[in-house]
Each structure stands twice: as structure tokens, then as C-alpha cells.
Structure 1
Amino acid sequence: MSAQPSASAPLFFSYSPRTQLILHSSLTSAQLFAFLAPPAFLVSSLALKRTSFSIRGLMRYSASGAALGAVAGAGVGGARAGSASDLEVNAKLGQMSLDETLVRRNDYATIGAALSALLTPAIFLKRAPLPALVLGGASVGLGLGAAGYYIEGATKGEPKAV
């Protein structure tokens, strides 16, 4: 007997339907903020010279950006899920479970986060504390993994929905 869900997002299938929508919204906005935070720090430190550039600052800014994105996404997802009926929530989950691009993008982001969380401390160990390197590396990898999915689709000539 298999424990596969019938109509839910594979990543969060053990949660209630409303919680699944909130978690998905949180993950999606964390991917976006994780992608945008490192360039924002680089512009702030190198071009605008508001702060001095450091690996420690980059990693902390990246981790903070991903965390802020997750919280913002959870708020937006909670507002959407709270105003939707049970039928609408289940329909949305059914649509999400059949969306291969969504699942693949989340897979790329998760793999990117795991690899970057391991590689960043190996490269920059003397430049920042280990927790900052692991969390910052994971957030950078989360954003780059999601972006890499879209870049792969663009280079293969397959249009992807954003």
C-alpha cells in the first residue's frame, strides 16, 4: 500500500491543505528573495559604498533576505488561504501537484541550497563564522537553484512559466 497523496503538493503533503498553500507561498517567495538579496548587498557595498564588503556581511544579508522572504510569503499565503473556500484550496493543490515545472523548480532550489550550504563553508571558512556561512550559502543556493531552472529552460529553448 503506497502513501502517495492524491491531490497535494509532493513537498508538503503531510500537512493540512491550507498549510500546504501557506508553505508553498513561503518557499516561492524565499526563492525570490534569496535570489535578489546577494546582488542587492553587492550593489549596496560596492557601488553605493554604504557598507564595506565582507563575506560575513554577504552571508548574513543573504540569510536574512531568504528568511524575510519566507515570512513575507507566509503572510501572503495565509491571507490567500484564509479567504479561499475549502473547494478552492483543494482545487489549487490539485493544480499544483500536476505542475511539473513547479516541482522541478523546487527540486533545483533544494539541491542548490544543499550544495551551496556544503561548499560555501569549505571555500570561505576563515572569512566568517560557520553558522553564517552555512545559512548564507544555503540561501544563495536556494535562489541560484531556482534561477538555474529558468536559465536551463531558456538555453534549451523550452518556454517556462514564471
Structure 2
Amino acid sequence: MTDNFAVAATPQAHAADVEFLVRRGMTKGYQLMSLLTPPLYATFALSRYGRAQFSVNRLLRATWIGGVAGTASGGAFEYARTVYSNPDKVRVRRIKAAYDTSSIRADDHSTIGGILFAVLTPAVIWKRASTVNLILGGAGVGSAVGLFAHHARTITGDPAPVVRIPELPPTPTEPIP
């Protein structure tokens, strides 16, 4: 068991924890911006330009560009947060994230919605936007719909199961009680 402590204290383990948390930050950033961008862009475009200049193509383009911006900013924020943090605290955050079933279910619903809408959006509104905007924007809208589905399931009484995090032994820098 002491070998696990030695492995957990290596720089490679810290780098793996940082990589995991940065990927998670990128995913959460994409989900958040895919959720926020369509209503914000629609409100901005309708109030600024009116209905004459509002189009599905522009809405879908704004959605996927917002998702890319969310991915980049979420990853950069998480990298800055974790790379110079205490490796023990980063390890604990990674373990908590790995056992957070609600977050995992939200990611699953978001991914399923993104894939589904990336296929359905071009099939339904083929002539209203360019192919790239249909596929990537549809994925962004689907990601938002997946998040809505996750939260609707939670609100209606089907929350994600709670998994107990296994007891972590004290790290070598902590005193043993």
C-alpha cells in the first residue's frame, strides 16, 4: 500500500491529475457556453438588428463559436487553477470529480444530445444554413438540450445515484493520527 503513496506523489501523477481536470474543465466550459450562447445571441441580434437580419445560420454559427470559446476558456481556467496547486489537493479534486455521478450523468446526456442533434439538425433544416454550421451548431444545441434533460430528470425525482467516495489514506505530507 505504501507503493501507491510513492506513485501518487510523483510529478507524472500530478500531470495526469491536471490533464484530467483540464479535460473536465473544457467539457464543462463547452456545456455552459452551448447553453448560454443561443438565448444570448438571439436576444442581442433581435434587439440590435431586428427580425429582418436574424437567421438560423447565424444562430447556429454563434452557438458553435460560443462552444469553442467555452472549451478554450474552461480549459485555460482549469489549467491555471491546477498546474501550480498543491498536488495532494489536486488529487483529492480529481477523485471527487471521478465519483461525482451527477456530473458524469450530465456529461453523458450532453454528449448524447450533441451527437443526436449534430445528425438531426442538418436533416430537419438542410436549406437554412451551411453544412458546417448545421453540424457544429446542432451539436451545441444538442449539448444544451442534453443538459436540460439531465436537470429535468433531477428535478422530477430521478436524481443520479450518490456514490460514496472511498476513504483516502493520509498523504505522506499529512500527519497520521
Q: Same fold (TM over 0.5)?
A: yes
Which string of whole-angstrom CA distances, capped at 9 and with x for unpartnered residues, describes residues 96-152 of structure 1? 111111111100000000001000000111111111100000011112211221122
How far did 1:18 drift?
0.7
What is the aligned partner in structure 2 of residue 105 from structure 1?
A: 106
Q: Is the 8 A contact 2:101 2:160 kept in 1?
A: no
Q: Relative to structure 2, which stretch is displaced further, 82-91 or 32-41?
A: 82-91
Distance 1:83 1:50, change over 3 A: farther
Pair member with larger Rg: 2
User: Aligned equivalents of 2:159 and 2:105: distance in 1?
Assistant: 14
Give matches, 1:114-153, under 5 Å.
114-153=115-154
Q: Is the 8 A contact 2:105 2:160 kept in 1?
A: no
Q: Aligned AA for 1:112?
A: G
Superposed CA RMSD in Å reads 1.9
User: What SS does the aligned partner of 1:65 have?
Assistant: helix
Aligned residues: 145
What is the aligned partner in structure 2 of residue 6 from structure 1?
A: none
User: Aligned equivalents of 1:35 and 1:112: distance in 2?
Assistant: 12
How far did 1:158 drift?
4.6
Distance 1:19 1:159, change over 3 A: closer
Give matches, 1:1-150, under 5 Å.
16-46=16-46, 48-50=47-49, 52-150=53-151
How far did 1:95 drift?
0.9
User: Aligned equivalents of 2:114 and 2:122: distance in 1?
Assistant: 13
Which string of whole-angstrom CA distances, capped at 9 and with x for unpartnered residues, describes residues 72-103 of structure 1? 10111011111212222211111111111111
- Aligned identity (percent) is 28
User: Aligned equivalents of 1:159 and 1:108: distance in 2?
Assistant: 12
User: Aligned equivalents of 2:93 and 2:84: distance in 1?
Assistant: 13
User: Aligned equivalents of 2:21 and 2:102: distance in 1?
Assistant: 17
Which string of whole-angstrom CA distances, capped at 9 and with x for unpartnered residues, describes residues 43-85 of structure 1? 1223x04361111101100001111111110111011111212
Q: Aligned AA for 2:137?
A: G
Q: Is the 8 A contact 2:102 2:159 kept in 1?
A: no
- Taking structure 2 as the reference length, what is the TM-score of the superposition? 0.76
Q: Aligned AA for 2:21?
A: L
Give 5+ residue unaligned stretches, structure 1: 1-14
Q: Aligned AA for 1:20?
A: F
Return structure 1 stretches of 4+ with deviation > 3 angstroms: 157-160
What is the aligned partner in structure 2 of residue 3 from structure 1?
A: none
Q: Aligned AA for 2:155?
A: A
User: Aligned equivalents of 1:158 and 1:16: distance in 2?
Assistant: 30
Q: Is the 8 A contact 2:63 2:140 kept in 1?
A: yes
